Amino acid sequence: MTSNSQQCTRFGVDGERCENTTAFADGWCREVGCPGYVRPTPLPDEDHINGAPRGRANHIAATTDVALALDIDEVEDVCVSQRAKDSFRYHHRGSDAEAEVQLRAMLEDFLVRSARFTSRGGFVQLANSGYELILDPSLGTITGYRTVHQERTWEQVKAKVPSRYGKNRGKRHATGQAPEPGPALPPQEVLAQLDPAVVYLTGRARDSYAKVRKQQGLDDEALDVALRAELSADLLQARVGLGTSDRVVQLVADDLTWIVTCDASIAVGVRRIRHADLTNSVPPGSGSADSGGGSGHGVGM
């Protein structure tokens, strides 16, 4: 906390900004009645990533014996890179100062409980419930932050603040259990390696496709056949869209934009094409598309 009070920067369920004052450095008052949402309303479905989170209970249990040469009382000495702060602010808004405070608080919690992964380059990834911190090999700098959640911060999840999306947003379920995340691929490689016949379909992808194609009356099996067939045809002409990030790749086709994870294993969603998709997409084979890729599932820097 800081000694200076300010108006709470967060929003309630009704979308109104909280009128409480707070001395917490992250801008959230944490008073009864303030759930602390960082946006007045949830993001549109196509901008909300509901992928398979790293840091689930089985991941944590499998890496519980991995020791880290970093103690909680050393967290204040850990640097926070601008890249990590920018990533946090991209997901959750706020200032650099608020981002740094929250990233350090996460690090304290993740030193107590998290799944631990180390890249070939020695970078260390700590993950819990879909929130991920990346530390450099010396453990002296937080170099990155990723999450599959944009609705809530880690502090909100800890406080058991519910997501405004709800558990029953979609009418359809996903196609079984989500696959384990694989290594991130350059965007053009996602385009090349995506296999429509086996790609995992989220409930959101099924719902969105049914709505776009006005096929809500189809059962899941018939819908999947139609979806996979259209995705297969679209891949022959698809281009990488500007919305590609270190988490998802947008594939722009005839009149649809497909959103898939950067390991080419999950179709997250689909929507009608937008004008910006047409003007900002990258033709197949263009080297500049590779710059949009990142380490959405791996730790490598």
pLDDT of residue 2: 47
* Domain residue limits, the chain: 1-41, 43-158, 187-292
| Crossing angle of the two packed helices 203-212 and 220-235, in degrees rounded to 10 | 80
Whether the CB-CB separation of 26 and 102 falls below 8 Å is answered with yes
| Fold type of domain 187-292 | YaeB-like fold (3.30.2310)
pLDDT of residue 44: 61
pLDDT digits over 165-188, tens only?
A: 654 444 678 887 788 888 889 988
pLDDT digits over 54-107, tens only?
A: 788 888 888 877 788 999 999 999 999 999 999 999 889 899 999 999 999 999
pLDDT level of residue 278 (50, 70, 90 thresholds) = low
**Mean pLDDT, residues 103-118:** 94
Question: Cα(287)–Cα(105) distance, rounded to whole angstroms?
Answer: 39
pLDDT of residue 275: 65
pLDDT higher than threshold 70 for residue 286 = no
Q: Helix or strand or coil: residue 160?
A: coil
pLDDT higher than threshold 90 for residue 36 = yes
**Mean pLDDT, residues 245-266:** 89
- Closest C-alpha to 142, from 196, 88, 205, 217: 88
Whether the CB-CB separation of 123 and 93 falls below 8 Å is answered with no
Instruction: Locate all alpha helices (DSSP H) within 213-261, ordered by sequence.
Output: 220-235
- Closest C-alpha to 269, from 211, 225, 187: 211
pLDDT of residue 300: 30
Contacts 24+ apart (CB under 8 A), 120-127: 120/300, 121/300, 121/301, 123/299, 123/300, 123/301, 124/68, 124/299, 125/54, 125/299, 126/55, 127/53, 127/54, 127/55, 127/59
Listed range (112-121, 179-188, 231-240, 291-300) with the worst mean pLDDT: 291-300
Highest mean pLDDT among 44-48, 75-79, 254-258: 75-79
pTM, rounded to two decimals: 0.55
Residue predicted with more confidence, 137 or 164? 137
Task: For residue 2, give both structure tokens.
Answer: 């800081």
